[in-house]
Structure 1
Amino acid sequence: MNAPANLPGMFDCRDAYVAALEELAAADDRIVAVCNDSVGSSKLGKFRERFPARLVNVGIAEQNMVGVGAGLANGGKVPFVSGAACFLTARAMEQIKVDCAYSQANVKLCGISSGVAYGELGATHHSIEDVAWLRAIDKLTVIVPSDPWETAEAIKAAAAHDGPVFIRISRMPVPAIDRPESAAFSIGKSELLRDGGDVAIIASGTLVHRALDAADTLAGQGIAARVINMATVSPLDTDAVAAAAATGAIVTAEEGLARGGLGGAVAEYCAQHRPVPMRMLGFQGFAPTGSASWLMEHAGLNAAGIAAAAQELVAGKS
């Protein structure tokens, strides 16, 4: 997997997604792809070349796309339904709820270019509500991978999981997270990337590497921050949240709405079981038009913003 030439050490997670999908398809002829005229943006060109009979392009018809996916699942296939996250979730919400989740159809929903990756196209193309919407749907697994390795592992885990899964596939360049060779991905289990007892930072997706950078900044100020990669937002790893609450302060960070998504999930658990001061970082509402990098900076979704929120909480403990 190659990093974009102009961004050394940074990766487009769509490449990891399609590589994993092709690997799965080569080993299992039940694997099929369904898309909404998004072969290019989903990077499914090579998949189409290798498995021409196993790519269904329904055109720009997201509700139909999800319904076709559910039908294929009912016929014994394992469909990966791939489309821009903003349209896949908003336009096909009823089909996701009824055809996939309520019916427990074995459909894998892949939200491409999630968050604010389509920044210059404006609020119509921002997918910042998707996790909040989908987390409210019963029996739907929601995964937000942090880097290429985790994206590929999430795709493989989704294929092995019996039931509907939504995976957020980021196109915003991210670095590979430094992990031990023994690292393993498991649906419903978080990943402790850094230990610390003064404050906990729980992040997902493109905010994970920024959380690690924030922890480095905090360490220089004598603050030991625990960093948790909460890739599975639903079902939530409540044991990890309880351990985070034991630090006495939690910051959540996500490339989505500051309410309803990861932050909302953590806050709901803590309010009922382990009350603790929190700061929930994300977009406050409709985001303006601009590059993805500018939008993240504008919203304070960077290492400095995370560190500042943690500092405020730690200061309040004294």
Structure 2
Amino acid sequence: MDTMRDRFAPVISRLLDEDPRVAVVLAEIGVDGFAAARSRHPDRVINVGIREQLLIGTGAGLALTGLRPVVHTFASFLVERPFEQVKLDLGHQGVGAVLVSAAASFDWPAGGYTHMAPGDVALLDTVDGWTVHVPGHPDEAETLLRHAVAADDDKVYVRLSVQSNAHGLPVDGARLRTVREGRAGVVLAVGPTLDAVLDATEGIDVTVLYATTVRPLDTAALRRATESAGTDVVLVEPYLAGTSTATVNDALSDVPHRVLGLGVGRRELRRYGTVEEHVAAHGLDARSLRERIAGFMAGAR
């Protein structure tokens, strides 16, 4: 199966052909995938070199001229390193762009901690107005990339990963999907965590919701699920644990509830290992999730 990032350049290249407002800004990463598109649209495919602050600033400048910039590099270099530019050049100036990341939380362990960004979504939560898509399959990534570019002048972050569920689901860039129904609690799986969550909750009487758009979160669907399944909620996110806990707490602020936020831990893992070993070390494999979810739900009784 191809990866989410394998879909990125072909999808955006087609959009460059279809929409004269679309522009692409790169910082060396991913340049080869846009070679053909650059030959057709040399004024709208720009490589700024390894200059991540300039990457965001250039995207903002293009947006000020009326273009729809798609800006791409690894998550740590797209959100964390140039965050001042994200905050000021885009947010403060009131212009939008589509930031498309690669490498997710730890997709390239051999790259070390400089290439890991489990705090990216939490960092974007400190500024206003961002839509955040976290696809769990290449088909979903393709759909959400198109949604992001079509979102007028909004600020949109699309978080791509080599981690993937076995099958894609229909997504619309807004709503949660109910994948399994139960009556003893709600488990909200984000993006590529869904397959592990379904394996972990097999035989446990819980409702499983699936999110590929986490900002804004479809809190109306979450509330509807808790009306029949109860207000014990487990969040399973492929980035920093607890990132969406406050959002869920706010959605259920008028009813007694409990929330358990599972995700990537704050402790730095100082061994390269594999992606699968990092998943297990952070307790996001199916066996670990089952123990933590079952233990949490049992505590309500």
Equivalents in 2 of 1:269, 1:44: separation in Å?
A: 42
Residue in 2 that maps onto 1:277: 258
Residue in 2 that maps onto 1:224: 205
* Matched residue count: 296
The 5 A counterparts of 1:21-60 are 21-39=12-30, 43-48=33-38, 51-60=41-50
Structure 2 SS opposite 1:124 = helix
1:58-115 per-residue CA deviation (whole Å, 9 max, x = no partner) reads: 1111111111001111112111000100111111111111221233313111111111
Equivalents in 1 of 2:240, 2:101: separation in Å?
A: 16
Match of 2:188 among 195, 202, 205: 202
Residue in 2 that maps onto 1:245: 226
| CA separation of 1:267 and 1:309: change in aligned 2, threshold 3 A | farther
Shift of 1:252: 0.8
Residue in 2 that maps onto 1:7: none
Shift of 1:173: 4.6
Shift of 1:50: 5.0
Shift of 1:38: 0.7
Residue in 2 that maps onto 1:287: 268
Residue in 2 that maps onto 1:266: 248
Q: Is the 8 A contact 2:171 2:212 kept in 1?
A: no
Q: Is the 8 A contact 2:189 2:211 kept in 1?
A: yes
TM-score using structure 2 length = 0.90
Q: Is the 8 A contact 1:39 1:45 kept in 2?
A: no
Q: Is the 8 A contact 1:36 1:58 kept in 2?
A: yes
| CA separation of 1:60 and 1:274: change in aligned 2, threshold 3 A | farther
Matched, 1:254 2:237: yes
Structure 2 SS opposite 1:110 = strand
Structure 1's consecutive aligned runs of 4 or more residues displaced over 6 angstroms after TM superposition are none
Match of 1:123 among 103, 113, 137: 113
Residue in 2 that maps onto 1:69: 59
Tell me whether 128-137 or 117-126 shows the greater mean CA deviation: 117-126
Gaps in structure 1 of 5+ consecutive residues: 4-10
The 5 A counterparts of 1:100-179 are 100-162=90-152, 163-177=154-168, 179=169
What percent identity do the matched residue pairs reach? 29
1:175-229 per-residue CA deviation (whole Å, 9 max, x = no partner) reads: 223x4xxx3413x3222222222221112122122222223x2x2xxx2221212
Gaps in structure 2 of 5+ consecutive residues: none
Structure 1 SS opposite 2:115 = coil
Shift of 1:45: 4.4
Equivalents in 2 of 1:264, 1:119: separation in Å?
A: 29
Aligned-residue Cα RMSD (Å) equals 2.0
Matched, 1:189 2:175: yes
Matched, 1:213 2:199: yes
Q: Is the 8 A contact 1:104 1:164 kept in 2?
A: no
